[in-house]
Amino acid sequence: MQEKTTTYYRQKVDEVLEYIQNHLSDDLNIKTLAENSGISFFHFHRIIQAVIGEPLGNYINKARLETAVKLIRYSGESFLSIAERIGYNDLSSFSKAFSKEFGLSPQEYRANSNIILNTHVDYRIGNNGNLTSDLKHKIIVVPDKQVVFIRIKGEYGNAETYEAWDELVGFAMKNRLLTWKPEFLTYYFGDPDVIGFENCMSDFCIVTKKKVAESGRIANKVIAGGKYAVFRFKGPYERLWDVYRAIYGEWLINSNVELRDEPAFEKYLNYSDHIKPENLLTEIYLPIK
């Protein structure tokens, strides 16, 4: 009996998700979706979330923006037309949502055909506070990167961390190194679970287009590129070590890839004082052969 009930609700949820995909321009409110699904309105949201593992509103927003990515790249439609097709009332709302999700504007994405957007979140924090995963990582080749950087020793997230970032960003602004969407990276040397956070070395980096005169502890270097497995996390920075443990413990040991003897690094896609911690997007790059 239990198996039959589970199958019934999973089928109903699949029908809801298909309906959403075919009606992105509509007002996809819970009442309408519940009526079309045949699931009781009083229990609809809990059943949907139990099956898909996230709030329905999050799923709808993701479906709309993933469709926008395809339309921008493969159609010649105007941004306003795309916005209307996926359910946004105006171009401004669409542009803000797109930039918040992917770290660049629709215009920037269309203008550069070399950009590959990772539209999937591999790790997120569930409503119960636990880390949840839906792994669809990507493999990319990262080019060499010219950077300015500061190296610090100690636990990431302490006062020195923020002071170092402030110093580095101030230097980059003074020397006009920041683009509209700068690349902020952190390279880690050493496993904190082995040597302790207090003994870890970290390089805080900003990618630049030119080499500039060094100042104090701010230096230049070129980081060699290579092949990486990339995982996307949505959530607060203080949970990133949980994500690393999950990648190594769940993905790496069950994969056929072999790591290169290079440090992993993080890329911060939408860092801002105005972004809530739960909406921060971070990509983790694991060096592979």
pLDDT in tens, 275-289: 788 888 899 999 999
Query: Is residue 129 included in any domain, yes or no?
Result: no
Answer left, alpha or beta for residue 55, where phi above 0 means left and psi between -120 and 50 means alpha: beta
Residues 176 and 97 placed together within one structural domain of the fold:
no
Region of poorest pLDDT, from 111-120, 157-166, 258-267: 111-120
267 CB neighbour count, 10 Å cutoff: 20
β-partners of residue 123 are 133, 233
Residues 33 and 152 placed together within one structural domain of the fold:
no
Query: 93, 124, 155 — which closes off a domain?
Result: 124
Q: What is the mean pLDDT of the chain?
A: 86
Residues 115 and 149 placed together within one structural domain of the fold:
no
Query: 95, 124, 153 — which closes off a domain?
Result: 124
β-partners of residue 266 are 186, 284
Residues 148 and 179 placed together within one structural domain of the fold:
yes
What are 170-177's contacts with CB under 8 Å, separation 24+?
171/215, 171/218, 172/148, 172/206, 172/208, 175/212, 177/148, 177/206, 177/208, 177/209, 177/210, 177/212
Closest CA to 99 of 244, 281, 277, 261: 281
Q: Token digits for 282?
A: 């971070």
pLDDT in tens, 137-190: 788 888 899 999 999 887 776 778 888 889 999 999 999 888 767 889 999 887
Q: Give how many domains the chain has, as a whole number.
A: 2
Query: Is residue 88 included in any domain, yes or no?
Result: yes
Distance, CA of 160 to CA of 163 (rounded, Å)? 5
pLDDT in tens, 95-108: 988 887 776 789 98
Query: 124, 151, 181 — which closes off a domain?
Result: 124
Residues 6 and 30 placed together within one structural domain of the fold:
yes
Task: Name every residue whose Cβ is closer than 8 Å to that of residue 81 and which is 6 or more positions away in sequence.
Answer: none
Residues 13 and 106 placed together within one structural domain of the fold:
yes
Distance, CA of 121 to CA of 137 (rounded, Å)? 9
Residues 154 and 278 placed together within one structural domain of the fold:
yes
Contact call for residues 48 and 16 (beta carbons, < 8 A): yes
pLDDT at 1: 37
CATH number at residue 67: 1.10.10.60
Residues 156 and 276 placed together within one structural domain of the fold:
yes
What proportions of the chain, in percent to the nearest 5, are helix, strand and coil?
A: 45, 20, 35
Residues 30 and 163 placed together within one structural domain of the fold:
no
pLDDT at 6: 58
Query: Is residue 96 included in any domain, yes or no?
Result: yes
Residues 160 and 51 placed together within one structural domain of the fold:
no
Residues 86 and 113 placed together within one structural domain of the fold:
yes
CATH number at residue 162: 3.20.80.10
pLDDT in tens, 19-41: 999 999 999 988 889 888 888 88
Query: Is residue 131 included in any domain, yes or no?
Result: no
Domain encompassing residue 206? 138-287
Residues 66 and 204 placed together within one structural domain of the fold:
no
